[in-house]
Amino acid sequence: MMERGASRLLEAVASATASALREAETTLPADVLGAIEGALERERNPIARTQIENILENVRYAGEHALPICQDTGVPVVYLTLPPTVPFTPDLREAVAEGVRRATAAVPLRPNVVDPLTRQNTGDNTGGGMPAVHVTPGDDLTITVLPKGAGAENCSRIAMLLPSQVGSVARFAAETVLLAGGKPCPPVVLGIGIGSTFDGAAARAKEALLLPIDTMTPYEQEICDAVNTLCIGPMGLGGDVTALAVKVRQGHCHTASLPVAVNVQCWAHRRATRRVEV
């Protein structure tokens, strides 16, 4: 009886993971679509406007035909919350991987996951630590997928700033976008992790990308405005809108440290969540 319940739960997790990936890959969340529509309203550069119009037409077409928005369907990054009754077991992790394999075949997704040195492709977007699964305790079992493309991920940076450089976070973020130019498919979203440890800052930067982008704190807005003064514009072709939004997640750090990580995300800021009954 116990076993049947467990296998039912694992099947539900695999199915919900696949379903969340399908939604994430073929539609944009309402807050992201709203931010892109807002970008078209305020963009004045005519070339930039053609790029935003292409983006909006692309999103419409992908949604109507259930096609991936972008051919870089990313690597699967998955955030789980687990209630006290559901332990994080190897089987549960495998169920998430099974969901990734199903979505890869069914949507379909491009197989992007390779061995870092031999570059051998695993063929199904799993293996060698993929999907990346992050677990936190919660009231419900929820599965959030954040497929992450390489163009933007490759432009991400981390710095171990000095405590005296606490005013330099916006500078580091803007410098990251400056170095990236058109490569990460702007207009970008920046997830910024401030504090914690070297690894903790990077983890928080990615977690910041899970936050809704239709609101920003005054601090986030200030960084976003600084980035937009660069006028790199959509696709690096010039324009008013270089960043759609900046989101910050912070954690306490050593008194002698100030880790700052900037996780760059493309305009195709894809994410979706499923809740699974336990």
Partner 1 sequence: MIHLTTPLGDEVLELRAGDAVTLSGTVYTARDEAHLRMMEDGIPFDPQGAAVYHCGPVIKGERVVAAGPTTSARMNDLSGFLLDAGVRALIGKGGMGPAVREGLGGRGVYLAFTGGCAALAAARMRLVGVYYEDLGMAEAVWQIELDRLPLIVGIDASGGDLFADVGQKAKIHFEQRFNK
Q: Report the interface residues with partner 1, using CB under 8 A.
A: 47, 50-51, 54-55, 57-59, 61-62, 65, 67-73, 108-112, 119, 121, 149-151, 154, 171, 174-175, 178, 181-183, 185, 226, 229-238, 266-268
Q: Residue 252 Cβ, how far from partner 1 at the closest point, in Å? A: 27
User: What type of residue sits at position 34?
Assistant: G
Q: Residue 5 Cβ, how far from partner 1 at the closest point, in Å? A: 36
Q: Residue 106 Cβ, how far from partner 1 at the closest point, in Å? A: 10
CA distance 150 to 109: 14
Nearer to partner 1, 110 or 134 (CB): 110
Nearer to partner 1, 9 or 227 (CB): 227
Nearer to partner 1, 83 or 108 (CB): 108
Backbone dihedral region for residue 235 (phi beyond 0: left; psi -120 to 50: alpha; all else: beta): left
Q: Residue 21 Cβ, how far from partner 1 at the closest point, in Å? A: 14
Q: Residue 152 Cβ, how far from partner 1 at the closest point, in Å? A: 9
Burial category of 185 from C-beta neighbours within 10 Å (exposed 0-12, middle 13-18, buried 19 and up): buried
Q: Residue 180 Cβ, how far from partner 1 at the closest point, in Å? A: 9
CA distance 219 to 223: 7
Nearer to partner 1, 71 or 255 (CB): 71
Nearer to partner 1, 9 or 21 (CB): 21
CA distance 196 to 56: 37
- Are the C-beta atoms of 48 and 233 separated by less than 8 Å? yes
Nearer to partner 1, 133 or 266 (CB): 266
